Amino acid sequence: MTAYKRIADLGDLSGKTALVRADLNVPIQDGRVADDTRIKAAVATVKALRQKGAQVALLSHFGRPKGAVVPDMSLEPLVPALEAAFGEPVGFAADCIGPVAAAALKGDAGIVLLQNLRFHEGEEANDPAFAGALAALGDLYVNDAFSAAHRAHASTVGLAHLLPHYAGETMAMELDALEKALGNPTRPVAAIVGGAKVSSKLDVLTHLVEKVDHLIIGGGMANSFLFAQGHAIGTSLAERDLADTARAILERAKAAGCTIHLPIDAMAAKAFAENAPHRIAAITDIADDEMILDAGPATVEALKQVLQQAKTLVWNGPMGAFELKPFDQATMALAHEAGRLTKASHLLSVAGGGDTVSAINLAGVGDQLTHISTAGGAFLEWMEGKTLPGVAALEG
């Protein structure tokens, strides 16, 4: 990974305005912030810049207004939550460019939230004129929104070409963790890739077999591989038409020296429902009217041993239908094992993706893993080996 400048590289910023691209696309219920996780993620960057004397102009998208002003997608309701998080008053500008934004930044507020970037078509189009209008408001640019780094927009790419640019605290922490996980990892490296569909993670699987020593495949995706190997999987969720693709990935892994781990037993049920009657069955013993809803205990024990041998773990996707008890057991067990090994300094663990983060938090080990990425699409594209435009723009 090419070097990028950080906030620590900056000196005194008195009299300067820092344009900070954050991801404040948070859930709002009844006019109030329902989950402030992403707001809390911006605190370290904002406070570091304020301590250096800078005024902070916060930039963010919210929803998909598609270049039109949609009152329900205004960022203004975030102000109270931002003030609570930052511990100081936060001003609000009813536009993100032009005289309205400039006037707000000339006021007394040390932190000013600018209106939804996507109220202007130029944001998603990475329009040079729009990027220029944003750049005119500040003296330097800080990107702290890894979760938007896979998008080549004006606020993630265009701005970086117009102003001195830096990685925010959360962005830097994310990039450091990802570099240690796949860029320059300590081996052996294990990856857990779960979820429903092979088709949604084809690029991830194809990339990872060249990068990791052990690839653990779970969820509906594992069923597709088991079917491709000739196993009867009953009524299980699977992409049976991708059997050739699954076999090609298995061959590619073999050639690359990557060991693929699939379930050897399963929790099989006849209905996809909470507490559905189920049994533990060998993978060779799934009845025609049964579906695989989770990996079984023998699989879990074997996979724990894989994690115990690993030095690095990358995780995206659950092992089974974790939202339905008791079919969360394999996911929970591996989450606890990853947490235990990380806490004991035996494992560097990086996890990301909505379902994965939910499962890890349900297991109560969110604070035990090395790094949990709240990014969805950006984390997935990183696992696919793709260059993220927002990260590339910070380099050099």
63: annotated binding-site residue? yes
Catalytic residue among 53, 87, 107, 354: 354
Sheet with 265-269: list strands edge to edge.
278-282, 265-269, 291-295
211: annotated binding-site residue? no
24: annotated binding-site residue? yes
355: annotated binding-site residue? yes
**How far apart, in Å, are the Cα atoms of 130 and each of 119, 222, 364?**
11, 46, 44
Catalytic residue among 197, 252, 304, 340: 197
Q: How many angstroms separate the CA atoms of 299 and 265, rounded?
A: 6
The beta strand positions in the chain, using DSSP E, are 17-21, 28-29, 32-33, 55-59, 90-93, 111-114, 140-143, 165-167, 189-193, 214-217, 259-261, 265-269, 278-282, 291-295, 312-316, 348-352, 371-373
**How far apart, in Å, are the Cα atoms of 361 and each of 19, 121, 352, 367?**
32, 37, 12, 9
**Cβ count within 10 A of residue 201:** 24
161: annotated binding-site residue? no
61: annotated binding-site residue? yes
390: annotated binding-site residue? no
Residue 181 token pair: 């996980």
Q: Is 87 a catalytic residue?
A: no
Catalytic residue among 38, 91, 220, 234: 38
**How far apart, in Å, are the Cα atoms of 389 and each of 143, 144, 145, 151?**
12, 14, 12, 6
201: annotated binding-site residue? yes
107: annotated binding-site residue? no
38: annotated binding-site residue? yes
Residue 256 token pair: 């690359």
> What are the phi and psi torsion angles at 321 (to 5°)?
-80, 70
Q: Which residue has the tokens 């939550």?
A: 81
371: annotated binding-site residue? no
Residue 112 token pair: 């000013």
Q: Is 110 a catalytic residue?
A: no
118: annotated binding-site residue? yes
The beta strand positions in 245-384, using DSSP E, are 259-261, 265-269, 278-282, 291-295, 312-316, 348-352, 371-373
Q: Is 194 a catalytic residue?
A: no
**How far apart, in Å, are the Cα atoms of 111 and each of 46, 102, 163?**
8, 13, 19
210: annotated binding-site residue? no
Q: How many angstroms separate the CA atoms of 356 and 365, rounded?
A: 12
- Element housing 308 (H / E): helix 297-309
Q: Is 197 a catalytic residue?
A: yes
Catalytic residue among 366, 376, 377, 385: 377
195: annotated binding-site residue? no
Q: How many angstroms separate the CA atoms of 156 and 38, rounded?
A: 17
Cite the annotated binding site for (2R)-3-phosphoglycerate by residue number: 38, 118, 151
Q: Mind telling me the catalytic residues? A: 38, 197, 354, 377
Cite the annotated binding site for ATP by residue number: 201, 323, 353-356
Cite the annotated binding site for substrate by residue number: 23-25, 38, 61-64, 118, 151
Cite the annotated binding site by residue number: 23-25, 38, 61-64, 118, 151, 201, 323, 353-356
